[in-house]
Amino acid sequence: MKKKKNLFIILFIGVIVIAASSYATYSWFKWRSSSSDAITVNLSGGSTVTFTSGPDIVGSLSPVANYDDGIMKEVRVTSNTSGNTFNLYLSVNEIADELRDESFKWAIYNGNTYIDGGNFSNVNAGDEITILSNRIIPNGTEDVYYVYFWIDSNVENSSDMINKNVDMTLSVYKNGYVSAMMAKKSNSSSTGAFWGSNINANQVKSITFTTMDQKPAGAVTTDISLNAGSEEVVMWLVQNGTTTGNNPITLYDVYVASIDEHGYVYANPNANHLFAYLSNCENISLTNFNTSYVNSMNGMFNHSSKLTSIDLSGLNTSNVTTMSYLFNYCSSLTSIDLSSWDMSSVRNDRVMFQYASAAANIILPDNYTRIDDFMFNHNAAHNSSSFRIPASVTYVGNTHIFYDFGNSSFTSFIVDDGNTCVKSVDGILYSYDGTRLISIPHAKTFTNSTFYIPEGVTELNEMAFSKNYQIQTVVIPNSYIIERDNTAFASSRGYINGGNSLSGAVYRYTSVKEYDVKRDNPNYISYNGCIYSEDGTELIAVPLHYTGALNIKDGTTTIGLNAFTTYDYSFFNELTSINIPASVTSIESNQLTAINNIASNKNIPLNVDSGNTAYQTSNNSIVAR
């Protein structure tokens, strides 16, 4: 039996593409970072690998003429014995098509000596790039490697690269593979070939990890080993019925076995989408499945919509750094229990439970550290009155996190003692310093249906009101300034009008009919349920469920940016008319379109005072005079 390799995750790279100033063909990148502390990994045989600037990239990246002006990661390697070798890999977890470009490059140097390099023009999500192979570790001395990533300004950079994302990890291990390691066999769609076999992913009815002596009668053997052709890991298919409907699909039970002495089938370090898009799979038995060497589990069960339950307790996740989209659209799972998992190394878990819409409970481990964007989006079946957040959580995002989370019994967030990132006040989730309102539980009730945002709050999470239909009036504190341009939210959702930060937090599925402010608010006044500038001359915000005739206050001169929010015109169902006084002389162009579209969509009259010298109505639309 061949010697098992020692795998260690060493680097997480998160890339956000941001605007390119005035250079339309340039793409500027900012590298996400959370730590710059040095980290040392011990390999067997007395070998060590040290990353001098920590596990995260620190710095920024823009188009440059020379590789050494890009981002550099220093890697120092030593050994106390001779003959040791190691491999270094780059796993591409996610990459936008626009970034699969020859101008996006990587290279590795040993000191000043070039070793290897390439670009991302033909790289797909799920690919694994060999950076170093069988590299000898010197005995008693130190080798220094430099890994570079850069955008080459010597070639044309497409403007389509702007605002696109890439997510990659580096992993290092001692040379030699684990016997019984599966090859990377990602599933990219339900009709794509399953693990390189002659059936599609939607033909899988069940998966069982078993032993070599349990081969089903008549099953055909397919080699799925990392060591291709060795049959160290095999897959067997057994036909088991068909789907119903006009175009029935033949279904198969899948059995996986290995030659490992303990019967384990080891997952490849990149286990992205391994069980994804199994749209007819009802059961996966992971008893003999070993994830000790896995560093990336992005989308591992993504869109496997018929799985009703799965025992995850035996999976080793101690080396995993990224779990984004892990259970996305696993819409039949009734429970997701991760209490036994080690998630202390995870740095990316966006969209992890999104649309796991049947999960009555989701249990997080005590070492869980991140609550990322879209994390619990549409987990509406959560049936407890509370949801627990461990003390270990150190980061909470701001987009779609708890939108449509919990059923009619969910009234309270509970935060474990010792957490210094978030807190629960009267069941509502805030940042620990109280400056950010993160989420209001779906079924939380309020006296007189009025919610007073606490003083000190300066930021509202997008969709923070999270389908709470109990609130009809929102009173904003003196500390809160409405962000007028919420373009990023609009862009992410494809809406015509992004609204403002207040309407983005309240959103569509609520019953908020009235906004109010305190009498001593230095920035705003309220009038008939709407918010105006402190001097009353500018309309700032109209509630999404304003009821009756909207009579804009006399003396208003401006209807400002995103005062009305249209999104998909599902708001403003209760409006009966919009009446504009003679004093209005300026309607922001985005709002002129919004108001006219609302009137047309809701079939309500628009009225402009006859004394108005700037605007008039024509065919129930507002037009400039």
Considering the domain architecture, whether residues 144 and 272 belong to the same structural domain is answered as no
Q: Is 252 helix (H, G, I), strand (E, B) or coil?
A: strand
Considering the domain architecture, whether residues 17 and 93 belong to the same structural domain is answered as yes
d(CA 98, CA 166): 10
Is residue 90 a part of any domain in this protein? Answer: yes
pLDDT at 498: 60
Identify the top-confidence range among 4-13, 218-227, 442-451: 442-451
Three-class SS of 537-553:
CEEEECCCCCCEEEECC
The one-letter amino acid code at 314 reads G
The domain boundary, picked from 348, 368, 388, lies at 368
The residues near 118 (Cβ < 8 Å, ≥ 6 apart) are 105, 106, 107, 129
Considering the domain architecture, whether residues 208 and 125 belong to the same structural domain is answered as no
Phi, psi dihedral angles at 602 (to 5 degrees): -95, -5
What would the mean pLDDT of 327-335 be, rounded to a whole number?
Answer: 97
pLDDT at 95: 80
Considering the domain architecture, whether residues 261 and 357 belong to the same structural domain is answered as yes
Is residue 282 a part of any domain in this protein? Answer: yes
pLDDT at 487: 66
SS3 content of the chain, % helix, strand, coil (to 5): 5, 35, 55
Considering the domain architecture, whether residues 85 and 202 belong to the same structural domain is answered as no
Read off the tokens for 554.
């006399």
Bridge partner residues of 217 (DSSP): none
Which CATH number covers residue 587?
3.80.10
Considering the domain architecture, whether residues 85 and 135 belong to the same structural domain is answered as yes
What would the mean pLDDT of 20-46 be, rounded to a whole number?
Answer: 47
DSSP at 492: H
pLDDT reading at 490 higher than 60: no
Is residue 473 a part of any domain in this protein? Answer: no
pLDDT reading at 228 higher than 90: no
**67, 54 contact by CB (below 8 A):** no
DSSP at 56: B
The residues near 589 (Cβ < 8 Å, ≥ 6 apart) are none
Is residue 162 a part of any domain in this protein? Answer: yes
| Element at 108 (helix H, strand E) | strand 104-110
pLDDT reading at 173 higher than 70: no
Reported as a single tens digit per residue, the pLDDT across 271-326 is 999 999 999 999 999 999 999 888 899 999 999 999 999 999 999 998 898 999 99
pLDDT at 56: 53
Considering the domain architecture, whether residues 144 and 44 belong to the same structural domain is answered as yes
Q: Where on the phi/psi map is residue 265: left (φ > 0), alpha (ψ -120 to 50), or beta?
A: beta
d(CA 252, CA 194): 11
Percentage of the chain beyond pLDDT 90 is 59
Predicted TM-score (pTM) of this structure = 0.77
pLDDT reading at 16 higher than 90: no
d(CA 280, CA 249): 10
Is residue 143 a part of any domain in this protein? Answer: yes
Is residue 252 a part of any domain in this protein? Answer: yes
Reported as a single tens digit per residue, the pLDDT across 369-422 is 999 999 999 999 999 999 999 999 999 998 889 999 999 999 999 999 999 999
pLDDT at 6: 42
The domain boundary, picked from 151, 174, 197, lies at 174
Considering the domain architecture, whether residues 153 and 59 belong to the same structural domain is answered as yes
The domain boundary, picked from 122, 142, 174, lies at 174
pLDDT reading at 202 higher than 60: yes
Reported as a single tens digit per residue, the pLDDT across 342-363 is 998 898 899 999 999 999 999 9
Task: Name the least confident of 41-55, 101-115, 132-146, 531-545.
Answer: 41-55
Considering the domain architecture, whether residues 190 and 103 belong to the same structural domain is answered as no
Considering the domain architecture, whether residues 87 and 42 belong to the same structural domain is answered as yes
Is residue 428 a part of any domain in this protein? Answer: no
pLDDT at 91: 76
Q: Which domain holds residue 305?
A: 178-368
Q: Across all residues in the chain, what is the average pLDDT?
A: 86
What would the mean pLDDT of 161-190 be, rounded to a whole number?
Answer: 74
Percentage of the chain beyond pLDDT 70 is 86
Read off the tokens for 374.
């879209």
Q: Report residue 260's pLDDT band, with 50, 70 and 90 as the boundaries.
A: confident
**341, 366 contact by CB (below 8 A):** no
Considering the domain architecture, whether residues 263 and 188 belong to the same structural domain is answered as yes
pLDDT reading at 117 higher than 70: yes
Which CATH number covers residue 28?
2.60.120
Is residue 151 a part of any domain in this protein? Answer: yes
pLDDT at 28: 43
pLDDT at 421: 97
Considering the domain architecture, whether residues 112 and 195 belong to the same structural domain is answered as no
Q: 158 or 38: which carries more pLDDT confidence?
A: 158
Task: Name the least confident of 55-59, 96-100, 586-590.
Answer: 55-59
What would the mean pLDDT of 180-207 be, rounded to a whole number?
Answer: 91
Tally of CB atoms within 10 A around 228: 10
d(CA 243, CA 245): 7
The one-letter amino acid code at 65 reads A
pLDDT at 39: 62
Q: Report residue 184's pLDDT band, with 50, 70 and 90 as the boundaries.
A: confident
CA 324 vs. chain centroid, Å, equals 6
Instruction: State whether the Cα torsion 126-284-292-221 is positive or negative.
Output: negative
b (16+ CB within 10 A) / e for 295-334? bbbbbbbbbbbebeebebeebebebbbbbbbbbbbbbbbe
Q: Report residue 20's pLDDT band, with 50, 70 and 90 as the boundaries.
A: very low
pLDDT at 146: 92
What would the mean pLDDT of 146-151 be, rounded to a whole number?
Answer: 88
pLDDT reading at 469 higher than 70: yes
pLDDT reading at 494 higher than 60: no
pLDDT at 342: 94
Greatest Cα pair distance in the chain: 92
pLDDT reading at 248 higher than 80: yes
Q: Report residue 45's pLDDT band, with 50, 70 and 90 as the boundaries.
A: low
Number of domains composing the chain: 3
